[in-house]
Amino acid sequence: MSKKTILIFFPLLFLLFSSVSAFAVIPKIRIRTIAGMEPVSLMSVKNWENSSSRWNCAYGFTPGIEVFYIFSKNIEAGIGFKYQLNRKVLKDGSSDNGSFSYMPLFAAVRFSLSEDKTLKPYLLIKVGYNFFNTDSSFREEWSSQSGGPLTSVYGGLYGAASLGISIRITDRPGWILRYTMDAGYSFHGGGGSNSMQSYPINYQAMSADFSLDWML
């Protein structure tokens, strides 16, 4: 993680936990601790050899946290952050093309599709901005391009939509614990540049999240 990303990430994380502390006294908060993954993913690189190229990416994990305010039985809204662990680019079937990671910070809206207290299906939509990091090997892949290796990378739009199901585990005075599973599609925008050219780099994945939801 770059120094610039660290300087941005930790204040945002502090604000996230501060918001939890401020509202935890109200029984209207859902906190999701997430273990996510992208079993199938694809990276698209524009302006590659004056055209575009698509590269497969390795399987990877993405932990995260989300905090929702519960407005009603059916609608919740909140914020979240996910940290994609480094994964390899499998360009031309090889695993020696460097690694990258996206770190999205986003707003989210969740719609419950049932009022059943035990088993609840839901729709989850997220929109935000993601930070983009790469290692030196990834940047060196541009050595054959005009202008040489990438000298900088930047983030871009993040969007995701998924369908899931929430299962109640326990219901105690003051808090409720639920287990959730959802699967859908995620889009990560970004790009890189060298001395001569800018290269939009988009990452698309089939995402799956598993979480424990603490309702306070």
Contacts 24+ apart (CB under 8 A), 99-102: 99/134, 99/135, 99/137, 99/138, 100/43, 100/132, 100/133, 100/134, 100/135, 100/138, 100/203, 101/132, 101/133, 101/134, 102/130, 102/131, 102/132, 102/133, 102/155, 102/158, 102/188, 102/190, 102/203
Q: What is the per-residue pLDDT for 27?
A: 52
How confident is residue 10, by pLDDT bands cut at 50, 70 and 90? Answer: low
pLDDT exceeds 70 at position 28 = yes
How confident is residue 7, by pLDDT bands cut at 50, 70 and 90? Answer: low
For the chain, what is the mean pLDDT? 88
Question: What confidence tens digit (pLDDT) does each residue in 169-186 have?
Answer: 998 877 899 999 999 999
Q: What is the per-residue pLDDT for 132?
A: 95
Question: What confidence tens digit (pLDDT) does each residue in 36-84 have?
Answer: 999 999 999 999 987 889 999 998 899 999 999 999 989 999 999 999 9
Q: What is the per-residue pLDDT for 128?
A: 97
Q: What is the per-residue pLDDT for 211?
A: 97
Question: What confidence tens digit (pLDDT) does each residue in 118-144 have?
Answer: 899 999 999 999 999 999 999 999 998
Question: What confidence tens digit (pLDDT) does each residue in 83-114 have?
Answer: 999 999 988 777 678 999 999 999 999 999 99
Give this prediction's pTM. Answer: 0.83
Whichever domain contains 211, its CATH number is 2.40.160.20
How confident is residue 146, by pLDDT bands cut at 50, 70 and 90? Answer: confident
Q: What is the per-residue pLDDT for 21?
A: 45
**Choice between 64 and 22, residue whose per-residue pLDDT is larger:** 64
- How many domains does the chain contain in total? 1
- Structural domain boundaries, residue 146: 3-215
